Amino acid sequence: MKMKSSIFLLFLVITSAYSGNNLPQLNINKTIHGKDHKQILAYFSPLEIPPSSLDENISKIVMKYIPKEYRDGCKGMISKWGSIAKGTESTVLRTLTIKNIPGSAQYIFLALTCFSTAPGYGDKYYDERLLTLSIQNDSTKLTIIPSSKPCDECSDLTHIGLEDDTLSIGGQPAVSINFGSSTTNPCCDGPVSVIEYKIKFLHITNTGIKEILSLTMERNETIHDDVMGDSTTQYTALADFEKDSNGNINRVNINHKTIINDSTTSRGVIWYTWNRKARRFEEGAR
């Protein structure tokens, strides 16, 4: 009886690794030393702008340090896209921007993309996570930054892009990254479809990269009902940035409204003020 229970538990552990409808949302930190670090340093250190495509050898080195959860997650996600796509999973790294901070480190922002090489899938359906490399003389720190909270049942596919890499907050550089997500996924078709667009602000400090603000700019949710008809809720926001004389963002004003089935149901203003002492944005609303 004990043996059967152990086998059953082992089966659950193994199958759970392949159960996701998208890539996992795990915050990962790994440090790269030795020969691999030296090759990463030699490749990126002369660069000030992203390469059109990442060197194949460098890509292989970085991919070695991508946790098994993400590799298994990609395979599991693609396996749910039907017999044509099964076994066609592939991953690629795409450079978004490079920030060289004298006296600190070189920071590389990349998108980790999971897609299918099957015809008709690659350009349309894929899922991405944000990955950063913090390169110093003696080591490289690899970090995977999740786009949302872990969710075993979610089917959102996320596409990542650079919003702005010229920002300054609190006297230090910052980068904003956009995250577009959609529940349109070959794995499953439910009664609710959601399209969302977020912008995340990442602060670059001497201790590394830290997310300090996340703004939802658009969200469109449609509930499909064959009897009563579809119902749509749309949220939209406009952002206005206030800066000090040195160009630092010290306040973000968000004017937002919600429309349900073509009728505006609410409007409002949210603001985020930079607290210099606490080194964070604090929220207010009316």
**CB 181 within 8 Å of CB 107:** no
Output the pLDDT for position 229: 82
pLDDT higher than threshold 70 for residue 78: yes
The pLDDT value recorded for residue 167 is 98
Beta-carbon neighbour count of residue 1 at 10 Å? 5
Contact 32, 40 (CB under 8 A): yes
Average pLDDT over residues 123-146: 96
**Strands 280-285, 157-169: pairing kind:** unpaired
In this predicted structure, the answer to whether residue 6 has a pLDDT above a threshold of 50 is: no
Other beta carbons within 10 angstroms of residue 110's beta carbon come to 25
- pLDDT over 70, % of the chain: 93
What are the pLDDT digits (tens) for 234-283? 999 999 999 999 999 999 999 999 999 999 999 999 999 999 999 999 99
Which residue in this structure is represented by tokens 């550089």?
173
**213-216: Cβ within 8 A, 24+ apart:** 213/252, 213/272, 213/281, 215/239, 215/252, 215/254
Q: Which residues pair with 155 in a beta bridge?
A: none
Helix, strand, coil % (nearest 5) of the chain? 15, 50, 35
Would you say residue 118 has pLDDT above 80? yes
pTM listed for this prediction: 0.90
pLDDT tens across 145-204, in order?
999 999 988 999 999 999 999 999 999 999 999 999 999 999 998 889 999 999 999 999
Residue 55 φ then ψ, to 5° = -55, 135
- Rounded Cα distance, 22 and 126, in Å: 9
Cβ distance 270 to 284 under 8 Å?
A: yes
In this predicted structure, the answer to whether residue 3 has a pLDDT above a threshold of 50 is no
Tokens of 185: 């996924």
39 phi/psi in degrees, rounded to 5: -70, -40
Look at residue 19 in the predicted model and tell me its pLDDT. 57
pLDDT recorded at residue 4: 43
Contact (Cβ atoms closer than 8 angstroms) between residue 263 and residue 256: no
Distant-in-sequence, close-in-space partners of 231: CB < 8 Å, separation ≥ 6: 222, 223, 225, 260, 261
